[in-house]
Structures are given as C-alpha cells and as structure tokens.
Structure 1
Amino acid sequence: MNAKPWLQHYPAEVPPTYDYPQQHLAQFLLDSAQQYPEQIALDFMGATTTYRALLDKTYRFANALRNLGVQQGDRVAIMLPNCPQAVIAYYGVLLIGGVVVMTNPLYMPRELEYQLNDSGARVIVTLDILVDRVNKAMEQHPLDYILVARVQDELSFPKNMLYPLKARKDGTAVKVNYNEQIVSFKELLKNSQPVPYLAPIDVENELALIQYTGGTTGFAKGVMLTHRNLVANTIQTQLWFYRSQAGKETYLAALPFFHVFGMTVLLNQAVSLGCTLTLMPRFEIEQVLKAIDRKRPTVFPGAPTMYVAIINHPDVRSYDLSSIQVCISGAASLPQEVQTRFEQLSGGKLIEGYGLTEASPVTHANNIWEKRKTGSIGIPFPDTEAMIVKPDTLEEVPLGEIGELAVKGPQVMKGYWNKPEETYKCLRDGWLLTGDLGKMDEDGFFYILDRRKDIIIAGGYNIYPREVEEILFEYPGVEEAIVAGIYDPYRGETVKAYIVPMSGARLDEAELKKFCKERLAAYKVPKVYEFRDSLPKTMAGKVLRRRLIEEEQSKLNNDQK
C-alpha cells in the first residue's frame, strides 16, 4: 500500500520516519543517569531513588547475577508489582545480555509453572510472600535461584518499621527460609560491587524480553521482543508526546510493568527521558487519587477502567487532578463518555491508542494536541504501516470496509518463543496479523470493532461488542459495561450485557433495554442483563470477557446435566 492518508494529520513536530539508534535497551538508563544523576527516578510510597542511586543498584544486581552464573541469553523471570526492585532487576538482567521474562504476581502455581518451564528460566526475582507459590509451582523442576525482595526494604523510616507490623496484623507476614538457592535481594546487592558492565549484543536479533500474551484460549504464547523492537517503540512513543520535557515529567505508574503497555509507556519511556516514576504497586482508587493530588504527576497512562473508577469516585472533586497533562488509554476500547468526563475533571488530554504485545506494544494513537476522532484508535505511529485486509489472503479491502488489521514496523516482534507454526500464522512478509477486526476511514484514522474471536453472531448478523458497550456507557447510572455472546437455541448466540451500576444508582432493566432499542438495530440490543458489583479484570485493568463467557458455559453445562 503506497497511500498513507494518515500522514496529512501528523503534527508538524512529529517526523513520519526516524533513524532509531542501534542501541542496547539498558542504554536509556545509562544515559539518564549521566545527564540527570540527581533527578528522582523512583518515588515509592515517599521513598525516593535518584538516577545515580538507581544505576548503582542496577550495576550491583547485574554483577550479582554474573556471580551466580547467569550468562548472556539466559532467561530471568521477574514476578513483582511496581516497586524499585522490579526496575533494578529489569535493567540489571538487560545489562548482562539476559532475557527478561515478566510474570504476573497474581499467577497461580499452574500458570507459573507453564511460563517458567516454557521460557527455560532458571532464576526468578519475586516477593517474600510469593516464595511458597513459586516453590509449589516448580516442585518437579526446581529453579537454580529464587531471589527474594521485600517491600519494606525499599521504604523509608518509619514506614519500613511499620510495614512488617501491619503485615503481621493483616496475616500476610511470612518467614522465608533463606539458603543457597533462596537468596535475599537486599543482601545480594549489599555484597556485590557497582562495577559498570554492558554486554555487547546484536540489537536487531538478540532478545530483551519474552512477554507472555494473555492467552484467551489454551496456554499463553511467549512473544519474543528484541532490544531493537523495544528501543524503537519507546522512541516512537516519545516522538508522539513531542511536548514532553526531559528530566521534568512525573509519570504515575499505576499500570503494571509486567504488562508490556506499562513497560513501554511508563518504565522505558520515563527512564529514557530521565523523568520520575511514581510507583503504585496496584491500582487502589483512594491511593491513586491521593498520589495525583500530592505528587502532581503530569503523565498518567492507563486502562479505561482506571479512568472509569476516577470519574465515578464520589469524592473526586476534593482531589486536585490539574497536574495531569497527558493520558494514553490502552488495553481496551475507551468509551467517549469516559474520555469527555475525565478531560473535564482534569483539564488534561485523554487519548485512545492501540497496541498488542506482539508490537512492543503501541502501533496507533490519536493525536494528543491535534486532530483526533472519537471512537478511533487514531493513526499509525512513525515508521508504522497499517492496512485492513482479508485475513486469508492479506489482500487489502476497499476503504471503509471491515477486515483484519495488519501492521508492520520496527516494533513488530521476532516471533513466538518455540512456536514456529503459531509465528507463521500471524507473521507474513513482515506484516503482523493482529486478530482485531477494524476499518480505516478516508483520513487514515483506524477503528477497532473487536477481536475476531469476540464477535457475536446472532441469527447470521455480526455484532461488534464495542458498538453496544458505547451505548450502555451513555446510560445514566452505568459505571462499567461489557457485552458478550451467550448460547441461544434459536439465534445461535444472543447478546448479554454485564453492568456495574454507579454507587447508589438503581437501574431498571426495562428502561435500559428501551434506551438501547432507540439507539441500536434490533438484533444488536442486549436480550439479557446482569447487574454485578464488579467485573473480572487483569491487573492492567482489562476486563476479562473470556471469563464471563466461561461462567456462562459452566452454567449451561450444569443446566444440561
């Protein structure tokens, strides 16, 4: 495809193409520590770490790994929430040419066992409260080392003294039996030297990361991302955020770093610019609002559910959100209602973007300060090509028609770890088939309708969940909404809406259905409604539609018994 209509909507400050440095991913940290040594890199519950101190600890960890026998190309798992040790471990592994395997701290032993065995990781960095879970997962294949971090080790006085007392009171305190294989992260750093080290690597081909996808069916696949992939996507994101000020921005890190969205738009992005990361170990609405009010973050990437929680908090107006300048929303579609209300509250810009693990992850975003379109994922990033195709033939469909989104660019993965057949299915001549159905308009703005697997087919009609969800979000009193296809003996599938009402709201099913009928074709109107206190989500805030469908299937199976 030669025509790139989206280029006419690029701001003058954003180049359509860029000469990305052939550099090691950890070079971002080295450069920022040299340029901004006294700038605060990390703010963790009030305890701060400068870039100089962060690099010192990272060198110590890198040398400790080498002393343990970890070599270039070895995989090291990191199973931590957003805390200083996660940042130190991440860049420390990269410095020695190791491959990071980011792992969700919520994983149960079976999920953990699969990922660690599949990646071939022999070392894991995790929290003290998770050591037993790791041991249980790896009973059949013990790891060489479990490196144990504790939250209190990175807190300042008096929080470092109070935290263990609170843990005992909450019943979450644990005693770790340290030995030759189970080693204290704190002691490891203390006994190691901050000798500079940067492994020579082939940035085009050597892996920085194996990142496992959510895996909606069966086991997750390990996405192989090179140093080149992640460096390019970090810089592409910087180019888009062209008003960012190196050494001056504060990023609210509520998205987890073990999710590739958080890793790129928060961790790598902030570090590459020498900016401050305000670390939030998990998204707790009260803590997030207090952090915005007190820490004055300027950048707040997140998932739509995070912004939903903020705009619907009963005391939101008692917090000052005015420091926020830019938010990029990803991981799920952003309802227009949420965007409008959040921008009114904060005065900042909230734009929808798009990405997937296989693309490091960002490929599209709406302009922050220039033309944007409601309901659109925006336009392709610099050096990123995109087209809507017939998935079987890669033939481009006519303008405005629905097909599968295919993307191409320096951020696209090398392939799936140990899965050449799966790689072949989605990578063709450099083009990545995303699995998402969408369309492009005459201006080059792209729209995602839904995952191919999430389309609801009722009575032969294709129904795209996002279209229905947009309408539900407009109804007064709806805080969250998601729809899914459930079994229907006559139509094959029918639309079911799962609704979380706002606090104190009393929703009437008949009125809600009438509201939908006035705005949607009859076949798209949800036939079944379920009001719930909450929706199942990942730690990144993405609603798990698949979990709801599995619940329905389980009910159906029980009814048929």
Structure 2
Amino acid sequence: MNHNDHAPNITGMPLEAAVEHITGADPRFALTQACIHGTAYTVFANAPANLRALLQKSADTYGHRDLLVYQDQRWNHGQFCDEVLRLAHGMVEQLEVAPGDRVAIAMRNYPEMLVLIMAAASIGAVVVPMNAWWSADELVFALEDCGARVVFADGPRYEAVASHAKAHNIALVAVRDAKGSLSYEQIKDRPEPVTWPAVPLDPDDDFAVLYSSGSSGTPKGVVLTHRGAISAVHSLVMFKEMTPLINPTADAPPPPQTASLIVTPLFHVTALNSMFLQGLATGAKIVLIYKWDPDLAVGVINSEQITRFVGVPTQSVELMDAARRQDQDLPSLAGIVAGGAKRPAAQVSLLAQAFPRAMIGSGWGMTETNGLGIVASGPDYVERPETAGRLTPPLQQALIVDEQGREVPTGQIGELIIKSPANMRCYLNQPEATRSTLRDGWLYTGDLARMDDEGFFYIVDRKKTIIIRGGENISCLEVEGALHHHPGISEACVFPIPDERLGEVVGAAVYLLPDSDVTESKLQHGLASHLAAFKIPERIWFWPTPLPRGGTGKIDRHSIRSECTNIPTPIPAGDNHG
C-alpha cells in the first residue's frame, strides 16, 4: 500500500502546469537565458551564483538548525559555516592554495570531507574527491591526472600516497586517524573571527573534478562548474516545492525538517550533490555513517528521525530485511530512493508494502550531469516499476536519437542525450572524449532508452552492454530483472559470452540467498515464463559471495564477465554513471 492510498481525492496540477506556475510565481525559480561557452541555455535567474553564496545563504537562513551529524558530533548550519571559513583561510595562508588549484581529498565518509569541499569552493580552488576504495596506484594516477598540489587524507589513504606526495612536493595533510607533520586541525586552528573570502567567483568557474567509476579502463575526470552544481541542486529544490501542487492533500501538516541518511560515498555525485548540497539549500539535517551497515542504519534512522534514504537498490532491500529482523517499521521515513543503478522492477512493490508511509522512488543521473536527470516516485513509479521516470524540470532538454543523431519516434529505442546548464564542462585532459560526448551543448549519455507518449523514460541498457545474439538485441537489464523474480536470488549480473554460431549469447552470474537450492536448470526453466527463449542465459555462474562492485557501488559487469569467461576485460567508451 502506498502512503497516498488514504489521502483525500484532490486533483493536482499536471507536471507542466506546476512548472509554469512555480517558475512564474516564485522569484526563487524564475528563468532566464545565459550563454555558456558559446551555447545558449535556460538558467535560473535568482539562484545563488556559486557554492560560496549557497553556503552563506544556508548559514543566514538556517543558522541554528542541525546540519551535520556523525556519531556523537553535531554541527548546525552556522557552526558548519564557521568551520568552513576557518579552514578556507588556513588553506590560503598556510598552504598557499590559490584560485584554480586542485585540492584532492582521499578519505571515507568523514565530516571533514564536507568542510573541505566547501572551503575549497569558497576560495575558488577545485576540489577533487578521490575514490576511497582505489588502490595506491589508482590514487596516484588521479593525483597525477588532476595535478593536485594539496592532498587531505585519512589514515589508509595517507599511507597509500605518502611516498608519491613527498617525491612530487605535494602538501599532504593528515585527517582523523592519519599521522603526519601537518594536520587538518592545524590548518583550521584560528582563534580570531573569520570573514568571507574576497576571491571573486564566476558561476562558470570549475568547482570539482569527480572521477567516473572506472569499472574498466582508465577513470575519467569529470569537470563540474559552480553553475552546474547549483543548477542541479536548485532544480531538485524546485521539484520538492512542486510536489504539493502535483499531489495535494487536505489539511496536511507542515512537513518535518528533512533528515537524510548518507549511505553512499561522498566522493560520488549522488551523496555530494543530491544529498549534501541539496541539504544546505533546504535547511536539512545530514547524517553520515562511516560505511554501509543495514542494522546500524535502522538504529540511526530511528534515533535521528531520518525522513529520506537514498542508496543503491541493494541497500534499500538490505534495509528492508534489517528492519524486519529488528521488528522495526521505520515510521519517520518519507522517501526511499534508488540511485546509481536501476532498481529491479520486482523490488518496487515489495518496498511499497514494507514501508507504506514512504514514497518509493528511483533516479537516473550521471556524474556528467551533476546527478540531475530523470526521477520516478510514488504512484507513478509503483504503477510503472520499469520506468526511470520523467525529466526533472525546468532546465533540462532530452532527446532520444539514432546513430546519426536524428530524433527517433516516440516508443522507439535510441541513445538518450541531455542539454542542460548542469552538464559537465569537459573530461579532464581528454579533449577527444569530450568532443565525442558533448556536441552542440548536448551530452550523449551512452544509455539506450525509449520514451512513452506520457513522457516517461525507460532506460533499456548501456549502449555498450547490449547483447547481440544472431542479430537480435537483448537487454542485460531486462534479463537481470527477470532473474530477480526468483525468490532465491539476491544479486544478478548479465553479460555477453562469445558464441561461434551466433556471435554472442547470454551469460549470467548470480549470488543466492542463504539456504537456496536453486540450480542452473531450475533457473533457466523458471525464466521461460518471463523471457523469450533466445534471452534465457545459456550459462549461469553461481557466485559464493556478493557480486563484485565498482567504485560507485554498482555491480562490476566487466570484471565479472572477465572472471567467468576468461575474456580480457574490454575498455569501453566510458562508464558515465555517477
């Protein structure tokens, strides 16, 4: 049962009418045109010009509200802003960080990471959050690629990059459990009051370099601007403000302060933009946990009255299972959203039944779009569990095009392309990849999709992971969705395997729930009621542990395929999802 089932039957505005109303009536969301690097875009006229302005507005508007919680530590919006400013001045005075300098951050989900990101942004530096799951070689690659002159690192990452930093004269600053001659506390230790940095910031200045997951091949540094991040965050804020117009309820009480639990890494765009920066903009409370633990998450959700949970699909299911084990129904949760990977359709109704007060949702976005993209939620999502949703208004345009870049008819499959001021500026040091991906203001996502006549998008697959079996195209996601209908399967990954006669056939790797007696033949037989015969996997590998994942927490299709079939992992055009 969805939480809207017992709401009074009040007719809401259609999405398009709600967009027209709020952009015309609310000055915060008024629109105008801007030319960005030679291309015209629709932009917000009155949004904060940069992230420093966003922080300042947060402190002025929500100063005494809780902002950040980590274990027994708490910061309100004003206290957080004060720490950011102290650190910003210390970075300039002690580390001589200048506008445009790259400041790398290598750590797990600690509060210092968020302070560092905003401090660097406030002085015009470019922050580079590095994947904390990377090996030492991968960390060093990113340091060399981005040209960082300062690195803030926790203990394991400090040790991993220490010799490289010393050899290349990179200032290395110890955070939390790291031991070194220069520490985070020393940099921010300023007893006197601090003021806002006077460095001018242009909306189109670079804000961050976020690396794509690098599930195969070399990671790409995605260069994001202040305007891009603000455009994404302000669009999400507007969408939240529109919700009562689209789904009104009679005599609804004022909603509580949004409290978001961050369970995905802050070095990726979902946690950073869609959770943290949106929280700054809306006066939310952000609660961090060091690493994902569903049993711990249940306790934190109850103790902090968490209203919003965003994670990869597996985390939603594990949270549901942990709540059942502990006999907790998590009544504060108002939203459970999946990001980073497509949620299997079979999970949507299960979650809606398990959490009847919560709006179940899913989002599609990319690092290259600052996380902005397509959203499905509530009754629309429960009724269409296969959909990615509708385009988040009001700045984005989307088309589905063929190989020649021509728009395809409604319902047909093509590549999804997006035009938006939230899109990346470029790939760092990769002009050819940039030209291939950004064309005349349009970002070619590499995702195959279709759109129905109501404007709902359906992501069919990655362009490079379609299985072509004897000329027939097979969606890996479709087969994975069918596998998830089997009650004994916890995780599934589908990929092509070579075949002398047909070119490619379907292969799959699965991880089973405890005590499951599933066999290959049983699975293949069970799939016959869900899939055409040519789509059923011809080989199924049973994995003894949870399936390997890449840097974003998504199942690592390429490495699984390589291990199962002993085929060298291919180097694709890029894994663009954030």
Q: TM-score range by the shorter chain?
A: 0.7 to 0.9
1:374: Cα distance to partner?
A: 2.0
Is this contact kept in 2: 1:32–1:272, CA < 8 A? yes
Is this contact kept in 2: 1:312–1:479, CA < 8 A? no
Comparing 51-60 and 21-30, the one that deviates more: 21-30
Is this contact kept in 2: 1:223–1:413, CA < 8 A? yes
SS of 1:474's equivalent in the other structure is: coil
Is this contact kept in 1: 2:479–2:535, CA < 8 A? yes
Distance in 2, matches of 1:18 and 1:549, equals 48
Q: Deviations over 1:162-217 (max 9, x none)?
A: xxxxxxxxxxxx7x2x33xxx11122222465512235445342001111112344
2:113 is matched with which residue? 86
2:72 is matched with which residue? 46
1:132 aligns with 2:159: yes
Is this contact kept in 1: 2:362–2:377, CA < 8 A? no
1:475: Cα distance to partner?
A: 1.0
Q: Deviations over 1:427-485 (max 9, x none)?
A: 11111100001111111111111111111122222111111111111111212112111
Choose from 455, 465, 468 the match for 2:476.
Answer: 465
1:380 is matched with which residue? 391
2:213 is matched with which residue? 214
Distance in 2, matches of 1:556 and 1:226, equals 36
1:520: Cα distance to partner?
A: 0.8
Matches within 5 A, 1:72-471: 72-138=99-165, 140-143=167-170, 145-150=171-176, 176=179, 178-179=180-181, 183-191=182-190, 193-242=192-241, 248-313=257-322, 315-316=324-325, 318-347=327-356, 348-368=358-378, 373-382=384-393, 383-391=395-403, 393-471=404-482
Instruction: Look up the equivalent residue of 2:339 and give its one-letter code.
Output: G
Distance in 2, matches of 1:58 and 1:377, equals 36
Instruction: Look up the equivalent residue of 1:254 and give its one-letter code.
Output: V
1:263: Cα distance to partner?
A: 0.8
1:492: Cα distance to partner?
A: 2.2
Is this contact kept in 1: 2:213–2:552, CA < 8 A? no
Choose from 537, 544, 549 the match for 2:549.
Answer: 537
1:162 is matched with which residue? none
SS of 1:300's equivalent in the other structure is: strand
TM-score (norm 2): 0.85
Comparing 242-251 and 454-463, the one that deviates more: 242-251
Distance in 2, matches of 1:137 and 1:521, equals 54
Instruction: Look up the equivalent residue of 1:274 and give its one-letter code.
Output: G
Q: Deviations over 1:230-264 (max 9, x none)?
A: 00100111122225979811001112111111111
Is this contact kept in 2: 1:256–1:281, CA < 8 A? no
1:46: Cα distance to partner?
A: 2.7
Aligned pair count?
522
Comparing 189-198 and 375-384, the one that deviates more: 189-198
Percent identity between the two aligned chains:
30
Distance in 2, matches of 1:87 and 1:227, equals 16
Question: What is the root-mean-square deviation of aligned Cα atoms in Å?
Answer: 2.3
Unaligned runs of 5+ in 2: 1-12, 24-28, 32-43, 245-253, 570-578
Change in Cα spacing, 1:556 to 1:396, as seen in structure 2 (3 Å) is: closer
SS of 2:309's equivalent in the other structure is: coil
Query: Deviation above 6 Å: which 4+ runs of structure 1?
Result: 244-247
Is this contact kept in 1: 2:391–2:398, CA < 8 A? yes
1:422: Cα distance to partner?
A: 1.1
Distance in 2, matches of 1:369 and 1:320, equals 20
Is this contact kept in 2: 1:11–1:370, CA < 8 A? no
Q: Deviations over 1:527-556 (max 9, x none)?
A: 111222211123543111122122235368
SS of 1:467's equivalent in the other structure is: helix
Choose from 62, 69, 72 the match for 2:88.
Answer: 62
Is this contact kept in 2: 1:63–1:194, CA < 8 A? no
Q: Deviations over 1:295-342 (max 9, x none)?
A: 220011111121122234484452232211113311111112222212
Change in Cα spacing, 1:8 to 1:275, as seen in structure 2 (3 Å) is: closer
1:489 is matched with which residue? 500
1:120: Cα distance to partner?
A: 0.9
1:388: Cα distance to partner?
A: 0.6
